[in-house]
Amino acid sequence: MSQPVSIQFQATDLDAIAQAKGRVVIFVDTAKSLSPAGRKLDRLMRGALARFVGSDAFAALKPGEAQDLGWPAGMEAEAVQVICLDKRATIADARKAGGAIGRALTPSGALILAEGHAQAAEIAFGVAMRAYSFTPHKTAEKKDIGPVTVMVTAPEAIAAKANAGAAVTEGVFFTRDLVNEPANVLTTYDFAARLAAMQELGLEVEILEEEELTKLGMGALLGVGQGSESPSKVVVMQWKGGPKDQAPLALIGKGVVFDTGGISIKPAGGMEEMTMDMGGAGVVAGVMRTLALRKAKANVVGLVGLVENMPDGRAQRPGDVVTSMKGDTIEVINTDAEGRLVLADVMWYAQDRFNPSGMIDLATLTGAIIVALGHANTGVFSNDDALCNAFLKAAEAEGEGAWRMPMGEAYDIKLKSRIADMMNVGGRDGGAITAAQFLQRFVKPQMPWIHLDIAGTALLKTDTPLAPKGATGWGVMALNRLIKDQYEAK
């Protein structure tokens, strides 16, 4: 998998600045006062730093934004990166500043003069998150970026604070790699193998094959994949870090490794992006990796349904009726509404086997949620105010956009079928909500549940402060924070 950039913390040594290679980073607050390291830099640069800080160009910078001063006199560095950041910056601004550093990193590395900044660990987190690139399929010579050295007043203390962020970064990178991977590489076989390899981190991993899924009665899930050469699978990952008598939180992910739409085939334009239709499963995998790496004191089970939705002589047809593990029958009106069929069976299995304390599913489920919310927010649907509010609080704390959507009987009745217990779609209007209503039919009474529709946030065509364009890893940070705040043994 893609490895985060190497970041080391060491005590501030002003005499070492002149000989630093690569990039040197300095933070200047909106009051335009220079720190001891800033004054040292200014002397080395013969006043150039002070002149820039007093300019309109610096005044135009927003917190976390940066400007390069290239090839500074009196130094061996190739550039000095000046970042506008207050001494009491918010976590969001500190991470944004780190992202500016990570985006500009070169193989020559960087020296970050954080000194006594209170958010030094968050700055380092931002560096690591933004310094991601997905290059395994590029044939040009690959050059590793970094390393990064952060000079701080208390290096050991800051390094300890940064450790938890390092685990999250690796989990996010694992998710991004999965979502970015092309479907001819990330088959259901390969996906399952990558998850099985996490046993070395302490996770218990089981792979349920089609024979076992048939015995369990997962007709909804199996119907989706019956037109593919890649067999359908369910992978169960357990992290047992909490008390033995603690019921686990269940995370369920949609893992459609490629979605043509099946017989209800999608338009050709943009279909190549359907390699990301396993984004929900990717997030679940990334969260489980993070929990294992940081030895979370909680019990969490992650379950992913891995299928491929292809048009074939054996493929599911519009009008077919399938029987779910729950026993309910479903009239398949549109084979491109396949993710909810996968989730229905995996959600029911999770409740039957683990009797979890709560259940959260993630899926790149509907284009309708993109119409409603764009790409800034994930759609959040829930039957439990307490769990939903706790998640929204965690998402806000981590800067991951999330917005609660309505549910209700008026949407549910749109799923009524003439020949089966329900249809898998309810029309174009309110499409994201009727999808959530479909899933709620597979949530047992009194089970706290959240559905996260990440169709608009899993993969972006533009950069963000913490990620290059492509897979974002949205949800790993928020779910990790939720588990840390609400489920870990204190």
Residue 112 belongs to what H/E stretch? strand 110-115
Q: Which of 43, 87, 161, 266 is catalytic?
A: 266
266 an active-site residue? Answer: yes
Q: Which of 23, 95, 96, 340 is catalytic?
A: 340
Please give the Cα distance from 75 to 72 (Å, whole number).
Answer: 6
Please give the Cα distance from 378 to 476 (Å, whole number).
Answer: 13
CB neighbours of 204 closer than 8 A, spacing ≥ 6?
A: 237, 238, 239, 240
Between strands 66-70 and 233-240, the pairing is unpaired
Q: Where do the DSSP E strands lie in 385-431?
A: 402-404, 422-423
Residue written as tokens 């992202």? 99
| Phi (first) and psi of residue 224, to 5 degrees | -65, -45
Smallest Cα–Cα separation from 476: which of 125, 103, 241, 169? Answer: 169
Query: Could you tell me how far CA 310 lies from the centroid of its own chain?
Result: 26
Q: Do residues 262 and 225 touch, judged by C-beta distance below 8 A?
A: no
| SS3 track for 271-288 | HHHHHHCCHHHHHHHHHH
Q: Do residues 339 and 363 touch, judged by C-beta distance below 8 A?
A: yes
Please give the Cα distance from 112 to 40 (Å, whole number).
Answer: 14
The 3-state DSSP class for residue 200 equals helix
Q: What are the respective helix, strand and coil percentages of the chain, to the nearest 5?
A: 40, 20, 40
- In the structure encoding, which two tokens stand for residue 172, read together? 């996010």
Phi-psi region of 101 (alpha: psi -120 to 50; beta: other; left: phi over 0): alpha
Hey, which residues are catalytic here? 266, 340
